[in-house]
Amino acid sequence: MDVFKNYNRSHLSEQQVSEIKDALSHLENLLSDTILNLSIDERRKYGSVNEQNKLLINKVHDFYVDQPSLRSPDVDWDEFLRDFNSRRMLEGLINRMENITNGLTNAKILHDHDNYQAALDDYAYTNYKVNTSAAGFEIKQTELKQFFSRTRNKEDKKMENKDKKENTSKTEK
């Protein structure tokens, strides 16, 4: 059993949760024209701008800025610049959102862990109360027992593995 409990004692207030949900709704509304759902085929078709190709885009942009006389007349440079700036801005937003998502995921993991440890403690207490014939705990134990697999204990597994190793070494001789 885990010695440490309540790893994450940081809890959002109802007001904070409400403000966060409002902020997310506001953000979703602001980005509604920008957010697109691409099909798998479209992602495959348009998502081919790998890291090497991004370096090419950046180098073309550098030439655009540093040596305008070398620009191709076939490129709509105003649109190129708008796309370039948009992709940079979106990449920055994505990085920030991924950091937020990662932090929220880590916080959730700790809350999940805390809940699980508390549930194990409650189950142990329930088993204790059943053994003392306290009223009402048998039904709870039956309901909770379904979440625990019926595997053999570690000692049985160790003995079985030891026997297998001994039998293997005997057959190899």
How confident is the model over 59-106, as pLDDT tens digits? Answer: 999 999 999 999 999 999 999 999 999 999 999 999 999 999 999 999
C-alpha–C-alpha distance, residues 151 and 145, integer Å: 13
Domains of the chain, by residue range, sit at 14-172
Per-residue pLDDT of the chain (173 residues; tens, 9 = 90+): 445 567 778 899 999 999 999 999 999 999 999 999 999 999 988 887 889 999 999 999 999 999 999 999 999 999 999 999 999 999 999 999 999 999 999 999 999 999 999 999 999 999 999 999 999 999 999 999 999 987 656 665 665 666 566 655 555 55
Q: Quick one: which of 94, 104, 116 has its CA closest to 35? A: 94
Q: What is the model's pLDDT at position 14? A: 96
pTM, 2 dp:
0.70
Count of H helices and E strands in the chain? 6, 0
